[in-house]
Structure 1
Amino acid sequence: MAMMCKDRAMERVAVLVRDGVLPMELGIVHQLFGEAREAPGGARLYEVVTCAPVPGRVRTDADFTVLVEHGPEVLAGAGTVIVPASHEQDERSARLPGPVAAAMAAIGPDTRVASVCTGAFVLAAAGLLEGRRATTHWRSCARFAELFPSVDLDPDVLYTDGGRVLTSAGEAAGIDLCLHMIRRDHGAAVANEVARRTVVPPHREGGQAQFVPRPVAEPGVAWTGAARAWALEHLDRPLTLRELAGRESMSVRTFTRRFREEVGVSPGRWLVRQRVERARQLLEETDMPVDRVAVEAGFGTGASLRQHMQAALGVSPSAYRVTFRGVHSPEGDLDGRSDDVGAGAGGAS
């Protein structure tokens, strides 16, 4: 994914709503982006504006309407456009209604576009997801795949980030996506403060696979929670599946199966994600050399850290630090290193 520079004027986030909009999805965009500030009590980082294909009263899927004063003209000047779901419209056809198509055509070619829940149907119908990875609510995935077979649909994740185009799963996954975009724009500290102020987790583990009903379930049982908590306290050391399974007195096979059921991803993928997040925190909040950050996050070498940050974020550790702290790492960005990266991920694959 492409990182976006935080050194810019307050960005306009336009929310395109249609009849049948889900109020929660409209509200979370305003709440989360509206809370993002340079520092607690500082200037707002985003201007959030609601618009509709035709301004006026817009029905929600609740027992009230919203009065939308702005039309699609605001989309042309927006840095980000977010399309919430409309259960009245989204799954009917692979073609957009005329006013919605015209509104989507008003979006600039460099504008970041994101969807919440079945809003992904709009992005796909507008041609923005052609050949791209995307997600939507798990209950709508079969219909989405039927209407848009050329889209690389991933039904298991909470959100996808293709750089310019992003999608999220169900309503609450819109929270995850908004925090991700804020984090991408302005760093983990700003996103974490938004999460704290709105009393939501800054990052949820796993994907929506954990929310899909299963024939057999054991509600309320966290089979791997203790191992995950322990792993987070020991990210700087090599961790193996056998060791993690042993924390729960399970075989590796049983632990792996139950971990995936609970979290939605494999233990190895989860562990890499936690280490990347730890590295981001250290790069933003400390002057620690990149090689030391790599050790503290459990990647072992700077080259291994660089490989995983490039895969996860599209930037090197030093470029990330320059973006979010405005300082260069003493040892450069490691572009010329040829260290072995195979042992740096810390096991648990």
Structure 2
Amino acid sequence: MLEGVFKLLGDYGNPVPRYTGPRCLSERLVVGGCDLCQQACPHEAVSIQTSVSIDPSRCTGCGLCVQACPTGALEYDVTATIAAVRDQRQQDGGARLVCSRSDEAGKTLACLGRVTESAVMAAGAWDLPLALVHGDCAACDLGDPSVPASVERVVEQAQQLRAATGHTAPVTLRRGDPSVGGGGERVSRRSMFGALARSARSVAAQAIPDQPLPFVDWSEPQDRVPDEWQWRLRAMKPTPAPDTAVYWPAPVVDDSCIDCPVCDNVCPTDAIVRDVQPDGRVTLHLNLAACTGCNACARSCPPDAITMQPQWPQRDFDTPVLLRDSGAAVTDPPQ
């Protein structure tokens, strides 16, 4: 019994998401800044000065700030949620991700605010019906009444991303039904220990692990791209044909560019690379797979030379895209 309690305290005991400063638009000094995480938090746990701070005494781990973050500066472990979906592939009726406050059993997240596009896309890649089950969000002190609408936006975004595969994800968002199976466990910071003591073993069998993520090593280029966006790309299955247009908003540059370094400086994942050639020419390349579509480059560009292109051919994910060459016209601009 106590082993189950301690297991869950390890899984649920640190609900604060990981913060990676170099990915934050506030730390990147993007024009206009960004306070989406602060706006999304229903518990006033988020404060922003030059960087984001989260008060662990107020944070319930609902995940709404992570859903709102456009760059992956705030994140939870997405691999555990994707694995929970995968493990239900042989289950009759498909997979379920269940809010801890619902009246239904299943693979349990603290709150459906934890659901991100990669999990929905993975269900689509496996052609697996996915039910997202929430509780009474209007009365919830862990999440917020806005959770269902926020999850709907996540699902809509995931379907846009998967459209190029020809197979959208079969997803249902609904209120928990106690007749489907035993109730989900109430797992909040305030009531955690009592809940664990009552039924630690059954919850441990269903809870999706929520262990703290290690800090990002920014010296490793592969670590700069958030796991969420890496998994979105991996879940783009079946892989579209090379000429297929994929919804993946990313920047293009027009001739009003003055070759300044602003876009390179503000990019939160180093998806834009500015190089000065030996002959003085300036080139801009885009690593499309690393771009989160945050729009920081377009917002900060002094001559407004950058716009966001919503769709790109699948082949452009394979090699860097030349956005700008100050010494020669780009004869085959991105389409």
Provide the TM-score with structure 1 as the length reference.
0.28
> Going by fraction, where is helix more abundant, 1 or 2?
1
> Going by fraction, where is strand more abundant, 1 or 2?
2
